[in-house]
Structure 1
Amino acid sequence: MSITFVGGGNMASALIGGLLQQDYPVTQIRVVEISPESRDKIKHRFGVATATELEKGVAGCDIILLAVKPQQLFTVAEQLAPLLTSQLVISIAAGIRTLDLSRWLGGYSCIVRAMPNTPSLIRAGVTGLYALPAVAIQQKENVTNILSAVGSVLWVEQEALLDAVTAISGSGPAYVFYFIEAMQQAGVELGLSMEQARQLTLQTFLGAVQLANQSEEDVVILRSRVTSKGGTTERALQKMDQDDIKNAIVRAIHVAFKRAQQMGDELGSK
Protein backbone atom coordinates (compact mmCIF):
# COMPACT_ATOMS: atom_id res chain seq x y z
CA MET A 1 0.00 0.00 0.00
CA SER A 2 1.47 3.35 -1.02
CA ILE A 3 1.14 6.12 1.55
CA THR A 4 1.26 9.87 1.04
CA PHE A 5 1.81 12.02 4.11
CA VAL A 6 0.39 15.51 3.78
CA GLY A 7 2.55 17.48 6.17
CA GLY A 8 6.06 16.58 7.27
CA GLY A 9 6.13 17.56 10.93
CA ASN A 10 7.20 15.62 14.00
CA MET A 11 4.37 13.10 14.01
CA ALA A 12 4.73 12.35 10.31
CA SER A 13 8.46 11.86 10.82
CA ALA A 14 7.80 9.52 13.75
CA LEU A 15 5.41 7.43 11.65
CA ILE A 16 7.74 7.30 8.66
CA GLY A 17 10.66 6.28 10.86
CA GLY A 18 8.56 3.60 12.54
CA LEU A 19 7.34 2.20 9.24
CA LEU A 20 10.85 2.05 7.80
CA GLN A 21 12.08 0.27 10.92
CA GLN A 22 9.44 -2.36 10.19
CA ASP A 23 10.88 -2.73 6.67
CA TYR A 24 8.08 -0.84 4.94
CA PRO A 25 9.31 -0.14 1.39
CA VAL A 26 10.75 3.36 1.17
CA THR A 27 9.47 3.55 -2.42
CA GLN A 28 5.89 3.28 -1.12
CA ILE A 29 6.08 6.46 0.98
CA ARG A 30 5.72 10.05 -0.24
CA VAL A 31 5.49 13.33 1.63
CA VAL A 32 3.79 16.55 0.55
CA GLU A 33 5.38 19.47 2.40
CA ILE A 34 5.40 23.12 1.38
CA SER A 35 8.30 24.13 3.64
CA PRO A 36 11.60 23.65 1.74
CA GLU A 37 13.50 23.16 4.99
CA SER A 38 11.14 20.48 6.32
CA ARG A 39 10.92 18.81 2.92
CA ASP A 40 14.72 18.58 2.55
CA LYS A 41 15.08 17.33 6.12
CA ILE A 42 12.64 14.47 5.55
CA LYS A 43 14.13 13.56 2.17
CA HIS A 44 17.67 13.38 3.53
CA ARG A 45 16.70 11.64 6.75
CA PHE A 46 14.48 8.93 5.29
CA GLY A 47 15.16 8.87 1.55
CA VAL A 48 11.45 9.12 0.70
CA ALA A 49 10.02 10.96 -2.29
CA THR A 50 8.70 14.46 -1.60
CA ALA A 51 6.46 16.92 -3.38
CA THR A 52 5.25 20.47 -2.94
CA GLU A 53 1.85 20.02 -4.58
CA LEU A 54 -1.01 17.79 -3.49
CA GLU A 55 -1.91 16.67 -6.99
CA LYS A 56 1.56 15.28 -7.64
CA GLY A 57 1.92 13.87 -4.14
CA VAL A 58 -1.32 11.88 -3.98
CA ALA A 59 -1.35 10.61 -7.56
CA GLY A 60 -1.66 6.83 -7.54
CA CYS A 61 -1.45 6.43 -3.76
CA ASP A 62 -3.67 4.12 -1.69
CA ILE A 63 -3.60 5.95 1.63
CA ILE A 64 -3.48 9.67 2.36
CA LEU A 65 -2.42 10.57 5.90
CA LEU A 66 -3.26 14.14 6.85
CA ALA A 67 -0.61 15.34 9.31
CA VAL A 68 -1.20 19.08 9.18
CA LYS A 69 -2.26 21.37 12.01
CA PRO A 70 -6.02 21.45 12.72
CA GLN A 71 -6.21 25.10 11.65
CA GLN A 72 -4.77 24.17 8.23
CA LEU A 73 -6.96 21.14 7.56
CA PHE A 74 -9.93 23.00 6.04
CA THR A 75 -7.74 24.56 3.35
CA VAL A 76 -5.94 21.27 2.66
CA ALA A 77 -9.26 19.41 2.45
CA GLU A 78 -10.65 21.86 -0.10
CA GLN A 79 -7.60 21.27 -2.30
CA LEU A 80 -7.68 17.51 -1.77
CA ALA A 81 -11.40 16.94 -2.46
CA PRO A 82 -11.24 16.87 -6.30
CA LEU A 83 -8.26 14.47 -6.19
CA LEU A 84 -10.02 11.72 -4.25
CA THR A 85 -11.22 8.52 -5.88
CA SER A 86 -11.00 5.48 -3.61
CA GLN A 87 -8.09 6.34 -1.31
CA LEU A 88 -8.29 5.83 2.43
CA VAL A 89 -7.92 9.15 4.25
CA ILE A 90 -6.42 9.12 7.76
CA SER A 91 -6.44 12.33 9.78
CA ILE A 92 -4.29 12.90 12.86
CA ALA A 93 -5.40 16.53 13.17
CA ALA A 94 -6.55 16.95 16.76
CA GLY A 95 -10.19 17.88 17.30
CA ILE A 96 -11.45 17.66 13.70
CA ARG A 97 -14.41 15.26 13.58
CA THR A 98 -14.84 12.84 10.70
CA LEU A 99 -18.19 14.25 9.61
CA ASP A 100 -16.73 17.75 9.38
CA LEU A 101 -13.74 16.48 7.43
CA SER A 102 -16.08 14.49 5.19
CA ARG A 103 -18.09 17.63 4.52
CA TRP A 104 -14.94 19.60 3.67
CA LEU A 105 -13.95 16.77 1.30
CA GLY A 106 -17.22 17.08 -0.60
CA GLY A 107 -19.00 14.20 1.12
CA TYR A 108 -16.10 11.72 0.90
CA SER A 109 -16.58 9.05 3.56
CA CYS A 110 -13.60 6.67 3.48
CA ILE A 111 -12.06 8.36 6.51
CA VAL A 112 -10.33 7.27 9.71
CA ARG A 113 -9.62 9.69 12.52
CA ALA A 114 -6.57 9.05 14.71
CA MET A 115 -5.59 10.55 18.06
CA PRO A 116 -1.92 9.75 18.79
CA ASN A 117 0.02 11.16 21.73
CA THR A 118 3.50 12.65 22.00
CA PRO A 119 5.31 9.48 23.19
CA SER A 120 4.69 8.33 19.63
CA LEU A 121 7.75 10.45 18.82
CA ILE A 122 9.87 7.74 20.49
CA ARG A 123 7.56 4.94 19.27
CA ALA A 124 6.09 4.42 22.73
CA GLY A 125 2.73 6.07 22.13
CA VAL A 126 -0.88 5.01 22.06
CA THR A 127 -3.35 6.04 19.35
CA GLY A 128 -7.13 6.14 19.54
CA LEU A 129 -8.84 5.31 16.23
CA TYR A 130 -12.34 5.73 14.80
CA ALA A 131 -13.54 4.83 11.30
CA LEU A 132 -16.59 5.95 9.36
CA PRO A 133 -18.83 3.02 8.27
CA ALA A 134 -17.55 3.21 4.67
CA VAL A 135 -14.08 2.07 5.74
CA ALA A 136 -13.54 -1.62 4.92
CA ILE A 137 -12.17 -4.17 7.39
CA GLN A 138 -8.95 -4.56 5.40
CA GLN A 139 -8.48 -0.80 5.40
CA LYS A 140 -8.87 -0.72 9.18
CA GLU A 141 -6.21 -3.42 9.41
CA ASN A 142 -3.93 -1.28 7.27
CA VAL A 143 -4.49 1.65 9.62
CA THR A 144 -3.67 -0.54 12.61
CA ASN A 145 -0.42 -1.61 10.96
CA ILE A 146 0.56 1.99 10.16
CA LEU A 147 -0.17 3.47 13.58
CA SER A 148 1.31 0.47 15.39
CA ALA A 149 4.65 1.65 14.03
CA VAL A 150 4.70 4.25 16.83
CA GLY A 151 3.04 2.31 19.67
CA SER A 152 -0.20 0.56 20.53
CA VAL A 153 -3.64 1.33 19.05
CA LEU A 154 -7.16 1.38 20.42
CA TRP A 155 -10.25 1.36 18.19
CA VAL A 156 -13.45 2.95 19.49
CA GLU A 157 -16.95 2.33 18.12
CA GLN A 158 -18.23 5.84 18.79
CA GLU A 159 -16.32 8.92 17.70
CA ALA A 160 -17.39 10.80 20.83
CA LEU A 161 -15.10 8.47 22.79
CA LEU A 162 -12.10 10.05 21.05
CA ASP A 163 -12.72 13.07 23.30
CA ALA A 164 -12.15 10.75 26.25
CA VAL A 165 -9.03 9.39 24.51
CA THR A 166 -7.83 12.97 24.13
CA ALA A 167 -8.44 13.74 27.79
CA ILE A 168 -6.69 10.57 29.01
CA SER A 169 -3.84 9.74 26.63
CA GLY A 170 -3.63 12.81 24.40
CA SER A 171 -3.22 15.21 27.32
CA GLY A 172 -2.01 12.48 29.69
CA PRO A 173 1.76 12.89 29.15
CA ALA A 174 1.45 16.44 30.51
CA TYR A 175 -0.20 15.11 33.68
CA VAL A 176 2.69 12.69 34.17
CA PHE A 177 5.28 15.42 33.57
CA TYR A 178 3.41 17.60 36.09
CA PHE A 179 3.68 14.90 38.76
CA ILE A 180 7.35 14.36 37.88
CA GLU A 181 7.95 18.09 38.35
CA ALA A 182 6.41 17.92 41.82
CA MET A 183 8.47 14.90 42.88
CA GLN A 184 11.69 16.48 41.61
CA GLN A 185 10.90 19.70 43.44
CA ALA A 186 10.30 17.79 46.66
CA GLY A 187 13.57 15.92 46.21
CA VAL A 188 15.53 19.16 45.85
CA GLU A 189 13.76 20.66 48.88
CA LEU A 190 14.79 17.58 50.88
CA GLY A 191 18.46 18.08 50.04
CA LEU A 192 19.03 16.11 46.83
CA SER A 193 20.65 17.70 43.81
CA MET A 194 18.43 18.25 40.76
CA GLU A 195 20.27 15.48 38.95
CA GLN A 196 19.70 13.07 41.83
CA ALA A 197 16.03 14.03 42.16
CA ARG A 198 15.56 13.60 38.41
CA GLN A 199 17.19 10.15 38.35
CA LEU A 200 15.19 8.88 41.30
CA THR A 201 11.90 10.26 39.99
CA LEU A 202 12.22 9.13 36.39
CA GLN A 203 13.42 5.64 37.29
CA THR A 204 10.60 5.31 39.84
CA PHE A 205 8.01 6.22 37.20
CA LEU A 206 9.58 3.95 34.62
CA GLY A 207 9.79 1.00 37.03
CA ALA A 208 6.29 1.48 38.41
CA VAL A 209 4.75 1.66 34.92
CA GLN A 210 6.62 -1.45 33.80
CA LEU A 211 5.51 -3.29 36.93
CA ALA A 212 1.88 -2.29 36.40
CA ASN A 213 2.07 -3.20 32.71
CA GLN A 214 3.53 -6.64 33.35
CA SER A 215 1.39 -7.51 36.38
CA GLU A 216 -1.98 -9.22 36.12
CA GLU A 217 -3.08 -7.47 39.32
CA ASP A 218 -4.92 -4.18 39.52
CA VAL A 219 -2.93 -1.08 40.42
CA VAL A 220 -4.98 -0.80 43.61
CA ILE A 221 -3.41 -4.07 44.78
CA LEU A 222 0.04 -2.98 43.70
CA ARG A 223 -0.36 0.29 45.58
CA SER A 224 -1.51 -1.48 48.74
CA ARG A 225 1.59 -3.66 48.71
CA VAL A 226 3.83 -0.60 48.89
CA THR A 227 1.75 0.92 51.67
CA SER A 228 2.90 -0.55 54.99
CA LYS A 229 0.70 0.28 57.94
CA GLY A 230 2.15 3.18 59.88
CA GLY A 231 4.91 3.72 57.31
CA THR A 232 6.05 6.61 55.15
CA THR A 233 3.95 5.68 52.12
CA GLU A 234 0.76 5.44 54.15
CA ARG A 235 1.42 8.86 55.68
CA ALA A 236 2.02 10.42 52.24
CA LEU A 237 -1.12 8.87 50.77
CA GLN A 238 -3.18 9.98 53.76
CA LYS A 239 -2.05 13.54 53.07
CA MET A 240 -2.96 13.18 49.39
CA ASP A 241 -6.41 11.88 50.36
CA GLN A 242 -6.79 14.74 52.82
CA ASP A 243 -6.00 17.19 50.01
CA ASP A 244 -8.40 15.32 47.67
CA ILE A 245 -5.64 14.79 45.08
CA LYS A 246 -7.23 11.81 43.34
CA ASN A 247 -10.59 13.48 42.86
CA ALA A 248 -8.86 16.69 41.73
CA ILE A 249 -7.11 14.71 39.00
CA VAL A 250 -10.39 13.08 37.96
CA ARG A 251 -12.10 16.47 37.84
CA ALA A 252 -9.27 17.91 35.76
CA ILE A 253 -9.60 15.12 33.19
CA HIS A 254 -13.34 15.76 32.98
CA VAL A 255 -12.53 19.42 32.23
CA ALA A 256 -10.10 18.29 29.49
CA PHE A 257 -12.86 16.07 28.06
CA LYS A 258 -15.31 18.98 27.91
CA ARG A 259 -12.68 21.17 26.27
CA ALA A 260 -12.08 18.49 23.63
CA GLN A 261 -15.80 18.55 22.84
CA GLN A 262 -15.76 22.35 22.60
CA MET A 263 -12.73 22.30 20.31
CA GLY A 264 -14.51 19.86 18.00
CA ASP A 265 -17.41 22.31 17.75
CA GLU A 266 -15.13 25.28 17.15
CA LEU A 267 -12.77 23.65 14.64
CA GLY A 268 -15.60 22.07 12.65
CA SER A 269 -17.72 25.20 12.38
CA LYS A 270 -16.51 26.13 8.86
Structure 2
Amino acid sequence: MKLGFIGCGNMAGAMMGGIIKNNIFKSEDVYGSDVFEPSRERVKNMYGIHVSDNNVDVVDAVDVLVLAVKPQYYESVITQIKDHVRADQLIITIAPGKTLSWLAEKFGKDVKIVRTMPNTPALVGEGMTGATPNEFVTEAELKYVCEILSGFSKVEVISEKLMDTVVAVSGSSPAYVFMFIEAMADAAVEQGMPRAQAYKFAAQAVMGSAKMVLETGKHPGELKDMVCSPAGTTIKAVRVLEKEGLRSAVIEAMDACVDAAKGM
Protein backbone atom coordinates (compact mmCIF):
# COMPACT_ATOMS: atom_id res chain seq x y z
CA MET A 1 0.00 0.00 0.00
CA LYS A 2 1.13 3.53 -0.77
CA LEU A 3 0.09 6.79 0.85
CA GLY A 4 -0.06 10.20 -0.82
CA PHE A 5 -0.51 13.80 0.28
CA ILE A 6 -1.65 16.68 -1.85
CA GLY A 7 -0.25 19.58 0.12
CA CYS A 8 2.96 19.34 2.14
CA GLY A 9 2.41 22.06 4.74
CA ASN A 10 2.75 21.85 8.51
CA MET A 11 -0.23 19.57 9.14
CA ALA A 12 0.72 17.21 6.32
CA GLY A 13 4.29 17.13 7.64
CA ALA A 14 3.08 16.29 11.13
CA MET A 15 0.92 13.49 9.75
CA MET A 16 3.76 12.11 7.62
CA GLY A 17 6.22 12.23 10.50
CA GLY A 18 4.02 10.29 12.90
CA ILE A 19 2.95 7.74 10.29
CA ILE A 20 6.54 7.02 9.26
CA LYS A 21 7.91 7.09 12.81
CA ASN A 22 5.31 4.54 13.91
CA ASN A 23 6.02 2.27 10.91
CA ILE A 24 2.51 2.50 9.49
CA PHE A 25 4.09 3.32 6.12
CA LYS A 26 7.73 3.25 5.11
CA SER A 27 9.11 6.52 3.77
CA GLU A 28 9.61 5.00 0.32
CA ASP A 29 5.85 4.30 0.18
CA VAL A 30 4.83 7.90 0.93
CA TYR A 31 4.33 10.53 -1.79
CA GLY A 32 3.67 14.24 -1.59
CA SER A 33 2.90 17.07 -3.98
CA ASP A 34 2.90 20.81 -3.45
CA VAL A 35 3.12 23.80 -5.76
CA PHE A 36 5.42 25.48 -3.22
CA GLU A 37 8.92 24.04 -3.69
CA PRO A 38 10.22 24.81 -0.15
CA SER A 39 7.35 22.78 1.32
CA ARG A 40 8.13 19.84 -0.96
CA GLU A 41 11.83 19.95 -0.20
CA ARG A 42 11.23 20.25 3.54
CA VAL A 43 9.26 17.01 3.79
CA LYS A 44 11.58 15.27 1.33
CA ASN A 45 14.61 16.15 3.45
CA MET A 46 12.90 15.38 6.76
CA TYR A 47 11.23 12.10 5.86
CA GLY A 48 12.79 10.83 2.63
CA ILE A 49 9.50 10.64 0.76
CA HIS A 50 8.85 11.01 -2.96
CA VAL A 51 7.78 14.53 -3.96
CA SER A 52 6.37 16.17 -7.07
CA ASP A 53 4.93 19.48 -8.18
CA ASN A 54 2.19 17.57 -10.04
CA ASN A 55 -0.83 16.43 -8.00
CA VAL A 56 -1.85 13.88 -10.60
CA ASP A 57 1.51 12.10 -10.20
CA VAL A 58 0.64 11.42 -6.56
CA VAL A 59 -2.92 10.32 -7.29
CA ASP A 60 -1.70 7.83 -9.89
CA ALA A 61 0.91 6.37 -7.50
CA VAL A 62 -1.03 5.75 -4.28
CA ASP A 63 -3.79 3.72 -2.69
CA VAL A 64 -4.70 6.20 0.05
CA LEU A 65 -4.77 9.92 -0.70
CA VAL A 66 -4.86 12.76 1.86
CA LEU A 67 -6.13 16.12 0.63
CA ALA A 68 -4.02 18.35 2.89
CA VAL A 69 -4.61 21.72 1.25
CA LYS A 70 -6.50 24.66 2.73
CA PRO A 71 -10.31 24.60 2.34
CA GLN A 72 -10.32 27.36 -0.28
CA TYR A 73 -8.21 25.21 -2.61
CA TYR A 74 -10.29 22.03 -2.35
CA GLU A 75 -12.52 22.69 -5.33
CA SER A 76 -9.67 23.49 -7.73
CA VAL A 77 -7.63 20.50 -6.56
CA ILE A 78 -10.57 18.11 -6.89
CA THR A 79 -11.31 19.45 -10.36
CA GLN A 80 -7.71 18.73 -11.30
CA ILE A 81 -7.53 15.17 -9.95
CA LYS A 82 -11.07 13.74 -10.08
CA ASP A 83 -10.66 12.00 -13.44
CA HIS A 84 -7.59 10.18 -12.08
CA VAL A 85 -9.13 9.02 -8.79
CA ARG A 86 -9.89 5.31 -8.90
CA ALA A 87 -12.89 3.52 -7.41
CA ASP A 88 -10.66 1.49 -5.07
CA GLN A 89 -8.75 4.49 -3.67
CA LEU A 90 -9.41 5.87 -0.20
CA ILE A 91 -9.60 9.67 0.06
CA ILE A 92 -8.96 11.35 3.42
CA THR A 93 -9.95 15.01 3.77
CA ILE A 94 -8.91 17.37 6.57
CA ALA A 95 -10.78 20.59 5.62
CA PRO A 96 -13.35 22.15 7.97
CA GLY A 97 -16.69 22.88 6.38
CA LYS A 98 -16.28 20.58 3.38
CA THR A 99 -19.09 18.08 3.89
CA LEU A 100 -19.31 14.60 2.45
CA SER A 101 -22.17 15.72 0.20
CA TRP A 102 -20.14 18.73 -1.04
CA LEU A 103 -17.16 16.48 -1.73
CA ALA A 104 -19.33 13.95 -3.56
CA GLU A 105 -20.74 16.72 -5.74
CA LYS A 106 -17.27 18.00 -6.65
CA PHE A 107 -15.90 14.55 -7.48
CA GLY A 108 -19.01 13.79 -9.52
CA LYS A 109 -18.73 10.04 -9.07
CA ASP A 110 -18.69 7.34 -6.39
CA VAL A 111 -15.55 7.88 -4.31
CA LYS A 112 -14.52 6.38 -0.97
CA ILE A 113 -14.11 9.38 1.34
CA VAL A 114 -13.30 9.66 5.04
CA ARG A 115 -13.75 13.21 6.26
CA THR A 116 -11.47 14.03 9.20
CA MET A 117 -10.50 16.93 11.45
CA PRO A 118 -7.03 16.65 13.03
CA ASN A 119 -5.33 19.32 15.14
CA THR A 120 -1.85 20.81 15.49
CA PRO A 121 -0.74 18.80 18.57
CA ALA A 122 -0.17 16.10 15.96
CA LEU A 123 3.18 17.88 15.57
CA VAL A 124 4.23 16.34 18.91
CA GLY A 125 2.32 13.07 18.54
CA GLU A 126 -0.56 14.20 20.77
CA GLY A 127 -3.20 15.05 18.20
CA MET A 128 -6.93 14.39 18.34
CA THR A 129 -8.86 13.55 15.19
CA GLY A 130 -12.52 13.06 14.44
CA ALA A 131 -13.37 10.86 11.45
CA THR A 132 -16.57 10.14 9.53
CA PRO A 133 -16.88 7.97 6.38
CA ASN A 134 -19.23 8.18 3.45
CA GLU A 135 -21.44 5.27 2.39
CA PHE A 136 -18.86 3.74 0.04
CA VAL A 137 -16.26 3.10 2.77
CA THR A 138 -16.44 -0.38 4.27
CA GLU A 139 -15.93 -1.12 7.97
CA ALA A 140 -12.56 -2.71 7.19
CA GLU A 141 -11.49 0.34 5.18
CA LEU A 142 -12.57 2.71 7.96
CA LYS A 143 -10.59 0.66 10.46
CA TYR A 144 -7.56 0.90 8.19
CA VAL A 145 -7.92 4.69 7.88
CA CYS A 146 -8.14 4.93 11.67
CA GLU A 147 -4.92 2.92 11.94
CA ILE A 148 -3.25 5.43 9.63
CA LEU A 149 -4.58 8.38 11.64
CA SER A 150 -3.45 6.77 14.89
CA GLY A 151 0.15 7.23 13.71
CA PHE A 152 -0.01 10.87 14.80
CA SER A 153 -3.22 11.21 16.80
CA LYS A 154 -5.93 9.74 18.95
CA VAL A 155 -8.95 8.97 16.75
CA GLU A 156 -12.70 8.88 17.33
CA VAL A 157 -15.28 7.94 14.68
CA ILE A 158 -18.17 10.39 14.89
CA SER A 159 -21.34 11.24 13.01
CA GLU A 160 -20.89 13.98 10.43
CA LYS A 161 -23.31 16.29 12.23
CA LEU A 162 -20.69 16.61 15.00
CA MET A 163 -17.79 17.50 12.69
CA ASP A 164 -18.23 21.27 13.08
CA THR A 165 -18.24 20.74 16.85
CA VAL A 166 -14.97 18.84 16.52
CA VAL A 167 -13.53 21.86 14.72
CA ALA A 168 -14.37 24.01 17.75
CA VAL A 169 -13.54 21.63 20.60
CA SER A 170 -10.40 20.12 19.07
CA GLY A 171 -9.31 21.53 15.73
CA SER A 172 -9.21 25.18 16.81
CA SER A 173 -8.99 24.78 20.59
CA PRO A 174 -5.18 24.59 20.85
CA ALA A 175 -5.25 28.33 20.12
CA TYR A 176 -7.48 28.90 23.15
CA VAL A 177 -5.19 26.81 25.33
CA PHE A 178 -2.09 28.66 24.10
CA MET A 179 -3.78 31.95 25.01
CA PHE A 180 -4.54 30.60 28.50
CA ILE A 181 -0.94 29.48 28.96
CA GLU A 182 0.32 32.82 27.73
CA ALA A 183 -1.98 34.71 30.11
CA MET A 184 -0.88 32.62 33.10
CA ALA A 185 2.75 33.14 32.17
CA ASP A 186 2.21 36.91 31.84
CA ALA A 187 0.75 36.98 35.34
CA ALA A 188 3.71 34.99 36.69
CA VAL A 189 6.11 37.41 35.01
CA GLU A 190 4.21 40.29 36.59
CA GLN A 191 4.84 38.62 39.95
CA GLY A 192 8.58 38.38 39.24
CA MET A 193 9.11 34.97 37.59
CA PRO A 194 11.45 34.83 34.56
CA ARG A 195 9.41 34.38 31.37
CA ALA A 196 10.96 31.09 30.20
CA GLN A 197 10.33 29.59 33.61
CA ALA A 198 6.79 30.99 33.66
CA TYR A 199 5.96 29.28 30.35
CA LYS A 200 7.31 25.99 31.69
CA PHE A 201 5.24 26.14 34.90
CA ALA A 202 2.07 27.18 33.05
CA ALA A 203 2.40 24.65 30.22
CA GLN A 204 3.21 21.76 32.56
CA ALA A 205 0.20 22.63 34.73
CA VAL A 206 -2.06 22.49 31.66
CA MET A 207 -0.54 19.23 30.40
CA GLY A 208 -0.74 17.58 33.82
CA SER A 209 -4.32 18.73 34.35
CA ALA A 210 -5.38 17.35 30.97
CA LYS A 211 -3.71 14.05 31.78
CA MET A 212 -5.63 13.86 35.07
CA VAL A 213 -8.93 14.26 33.20
CA LEU A 214 -8.02 11.53 30.70
CA GLU A 215 -6.46 9.03 33.11
CA THR A 216 -8.66 9.35 36.21
CA GLY A 217 -11.96 9.47 34.38
CA LYS A 218 -13.19 11.96 36.96
CA HIS A 219 -15.45 14.86 36.03
CA PRO A 220 -13.43 18.07 35.51
CA GLY A 221 -15.61 19.76 38.13
CA GLU A 222 -14.70 17.10 40.67
CA LEU A 223 -11.00 17.56 39.92
CA LYS A 224 -11.43 21.33 40.26
CA ASP A 225 -13.10 20.87 43.66
CA MET A 226 -10.17 18.73 44.82
CA VAL A 227 -7.87 21.75 44.38
CA CYS A 228 -10.24 24.26 45.99
CA SER A 229 -9.59 24.04 49.73
CA PRO A 230 -12.02 25.93 52.01
CA ALA A 231 -10.99 29.59 52.31
CA GLY A 232 -7.89 28.76 50.25
CA THR A 233 -6.07 30.48 47.44
CA THR A 234 -7.58 28.48 44.57
CA ILE A 235 -11.24 29.13 45.35
CA LYS A 236 -10.50 32.86 45.38
CA ALA A 237 -8.96 32.60 41.91
CA VAL A 238 -11.92 30.49 40.70
CA ARG A 239 -14.35 33.13 42.01
CA VAL A 240 -12.61 35.80 39.92
CA LEU A 241 -12.65 33.59 36.80
CA GLU A 242 -16.38 33.02 37.26
CA LYS A 243 -16.99 36.74 37.85
CA GLU A 244 -15.05 37.66 34.69
CA GLY A 245 -16.98 35.14 32.59
CA LEU A 246 -14.36 32.53 31.68
CA ARG A 247 -16.92 29.79 30.97
CA SER A 248 -19.17 32.08 28.94
CA ALA A 249 -16.23 33.45 26.94
CA VAL A 250 -15.11 29.94 26.00
CA ILE A 251 -18.63 28.85 25.05
CA GLU A 252 -19.21 31.97 22.95
CA ALA A 253 -15.85 31.50 21.23
CA MET A 254 -16.66 27.89 20.36
CA ASP A 255 -20.11 28.84 19.06
CA ALA A 256 -18.45 31.41 16.78
CA CYS A 257 -15.99 28.76 15.61
CA VAL A 258 -18.82 26.33 14.76
CA ASP A 259 -20.65 29.06 12.83
CA ALA A 260 -17.50 29.86 10.86
CA ALA A 261 -16.92 26.17 10.05
CA LYS A 262 -20.47 25.78 8.78
CA GLY A 263 -19.97 28.76 6.49
CA MET A 264 -16.82 27.44 4.79
Question: What TM-score, normalized to structure 2?
Answer: 0.93
Displacement of 1:95 in angstroms is: 2.2
Displacement of 1:192 in angstroms is 2.1
Distance of 1:195 and 1:42 partners within structure 2: 30
Change (3 A) 1:36 1:134: same
SS at 2:150 equivalent: helix
Q: Which moved more, 1:186-195 or 1:162-171?
A: 186-195
Q: Report the counterpart of residue 174 of structure 1 in structure 2.
A: 175
Q: What 5-or-longer segments of structure 1 have no aligned partner?
A: 264-270
Q: What's the counterpart of residue 267 of structure 1?
A: none
* 1:3 matched residue in structure 2: 3
The answer as to whether partners of 1:114 and 1:128 remain within 8 angstroms in 2 is yes
Which residue number corresponds to residue 15 of structure 1?
15
Q: Deviations over 1:181-217 (max 9, x none)?
A: 2211211222222233222212211222222222132
Q: Identity across aligned pairs (percent)?
A: 33
Query: Quick one: distance in 2 between partners of 1:238 and 1:167?
Result: 26
SS of alignment partner, residue 154 of structure 2: strand
**Matches of 1:107 and 1:93, distance apart in 2:** 20
Q: Look up the match of 1:70.
A: 71
Q: 1:60 to 1:197 in 2, by over 3 A?
A: closer
> 1:123-138, aligned counterparts within 5 Å?
123-138=125-140
Residue type of the partner of 2:233? T
Deviates more, 1:72-81 or 1:181-190: 181-190
Are the counterparts in 2 of residues 74 and 104 from structure 1 also a CA contact under 8 Å? yes
**CA distance in 2 between partners of 1:199 and 1:114 (Å):** 32
Corresponding residue of 1:145: 147
Amino acid at match of 2:70: K
Structure 2 alignment gaps of length 5 or more: none
Mapped partners of 2:243, 2:95: distance in 1: 40
Where 1:257 maps in the other structure, the secondary structure is: helix
Which position in structure 1 is the counterpart of 2:97? Answer: 95
Q: Distance in 2 between matches of 1:43 and 1:182?
A: 37
SS of residue paired to 2:156: strand
Q: Indicate the residue corresponding to 2:120 in structure 1.
A: 118
Report SS of the residue matched to 2:102.
helix
Kindly provide the CA deviation profile for residues 213-243 of structure 1, in whole angstroms up to 9, marking residues without a partner as x.
2213222111111101111111111122222
| Equivalent pair of 1:98/1:111 in contact (CA under 8 Å) | yes
The 1:27–1:177 alpha-carbon spacing in structure 2 relative to 1, beyond 3 Å, is same
What's the counterpart of residue 33 of structure 2? 32
Structure 1 partner of 2:218:
217
Per the TM alignment, residue 60 of structure 1 is displaced from its structure 2 partner at its CA by: 4.5
Contact 1:15 1:146 in 2 (8 A): no
- 1:149-164 equivalences under 5 Å are 149-157=151-159, 159-164=160-165
Q: Deviations over 1:67-119 (max 9, x none)?
A: 11111111110011111222111111232222112111113331111111111
Q: CA deviation at 1:122?
A: 1.4
CA distance in 1, matches of 2:199, 2:49: 38
Distance 1:2 1:227 in 2: 52
Give 1:38 shift: 2.2
Distance (whole Å) between structure 1 residues aligned to residue 77 and residue 252 of structure 2: 36
Specify whether residues 242 and 65 from structure 1 end up closer, same or farther in structure 2 by C-alpha distance, changes over 3 A only: same
Distance 2:49 2:38 in 1: 15
SS of residue matched to 1:141: helix
The change in CA–CA distance for 1:41 and 1:196 in structure 2 (over 3 A counts) is closer
Q: Aligned with 2:151: secondary structure?
A: helix
Q: Which amino acid aligns with 1:15?
A: M
Q: 2:115 and 2:43 mapped to 1: Cα distance?
A: 24
